[in-house]
Amino acid sequence: MPYAERCQACGIYPGVKQVQMGDDQDWICPSCKQKRTLGPKAKYGTGSDMPKMASTLDDIAGEDERYLGVIYADANKAGQLALKATDQKQLQAFSHFLWDMVETAVVETAEALGLEGKYQSPVIGGDDVLLF
């Protein structure tokens, strides 16, 4: 088996794509590459259905506010469900379905609460969502 550098983002999968991170060149896996591509699009509200995210905590809570709301969501047993896929096509379909559900939940929550430019999501991936 050939040697492969581990992904320098997740440390789990083989790093197969080299990307520039500051002054360094990191080897990352396809999954982390996709996250690094989608993350900025969601943050700046471009190329995604997601509303624009906040840049700072002041954008979220305002300078005079003392409270910060947190929403965490996790799809129970999504990993077990993914293991039932019998081929790559089923796994990919499940992954797209899961992403669509997560994206819809974030969009609907942000719209219902008027959070355009007033929320941040440091974690959107797999079956986990964290908003504040």
SS3 assignment for the chain: CCCCCECCCCCCCECCEEEEECCEEEEECHHHHHHHHHHHHHHHCCCCCCCCCCCCHHHHHCCCCCCCCCEEEECCCHHHHHHCCCCHHHHHHHHHHHHHHHHHHHHHHHHHCCCCCCCCCCEEECCEEEEC
Q: Is the pLDDT of residue 3 over 60?
A: yes
Residues of the chain above pLDDT 70, percent? 83
| Per-residue pLDDT at 108 | 87
pLDDT tens-digit readout, 55-106: 777 777 777 767 777 888 777 777 788 888 898 899 888 888 887 887 788 8
